[in-house]
Amino acid sequence: MPSPNTFSIKPIRELVERYMQRGSIWIDPFVRASVLRDRCMFTNDLNPKYAGTHNLEALDFLRLFREGSVDGVLFDPPYSPRQAKEEYNGFGAVQTSRAFYSDRKREAAYILKPGGFGICCGWNSLNLGRKNGVEVVEVLLVCHGNQNDTIVTVGQKQWPSAQNGPNPT
């Protein structure tokens, strides 16, 4: 990736800024040195060298919010064990297992308001998950030449009636 700060990449930043206009309460559980950190109401990073509103493990940060209380979540965790180790070695357990991502995505989807957006960056297009009530509405693929592409998925939290099927009444 040409920049460890995903949101400094022009097409990614433009996509995120377009969605951030659709709500006032945005959070970032893995903020690092993001160029968008001032646009989020609450930011977090385990590494205290990054100026977030919180310095907690991401899951603990996400659990600070009530169900359906945020308009948007920027979900840009370390993509690989190497990245996680470089950024967070010495600040607690460094994990990048499937369960690590799944637990945090489930919690991020839980705190999204119906109609809210989860924007996920990584090397796959899994987003916050249909099983968590989030449907993919847009995908951006950014090619970096001879390096891994960045895949950005925008998911929208579905309204409860859309998640549970038709109302039986």
CATH 3.30.9.10 describes domain 6-162: no
Residues in the chain with pLDDT values less than 70: 1-4, 80-98, 161-169
So what's the pLDDT on residue 100? 77
Residue tagged 């990584």 (tokens): 122
Q: What is the C-alpha separation between 165 and 5, in angstroms, rounded? A: 39
Q: Could you tell me if 77 and 122 are in contact, meaning their C-beta atoms sit under 8 angstroms apart?
A: yes
pTM: 0.86
Instruction: State the amino acid at position 75 in one-letter form.
Output: F
Give how far the C-alpha of residue 73 lies from the chain's centroid of Cα atoms, to the nearest Å. 5
So what's the pLDDT on residue 167? 39
Q: What is the C-alpha separation between 31 and 34, in angstroms, rounded? A: 6
Element of type H or E holding 156: strand 147-157
Instruction: State the CB neighbour count (10 A cutoff) for residue 50.
Output: 17
So what's the pLDDT on residue 91? 60
Q: What is the C-alpha separation between 29 and 11, in angstroms, rounded? A: 21
Domain boundaries of the chain, sorted by first residue: 6-162
So what's the pLDDT on residue 23? 86
Q: Could you tell me if 157 and 118 are in contact, meaning their C-beta atoms sit under 8 angstroms apart?
A: yes
Q: What is the C-alpha separation between 84 and 134, in angstroms, rounded? A: 26
So what's the pLDDT on residue 33? 86
Q: Could you tell me if 92 and 46 are in contact, meaning their C-beta atoms sit under 8 angstroms apart?
A: yes
Give how far the C-alpha of residue 166 lies from the chain's centroid of Cα atoms, to the nearest Å. 30
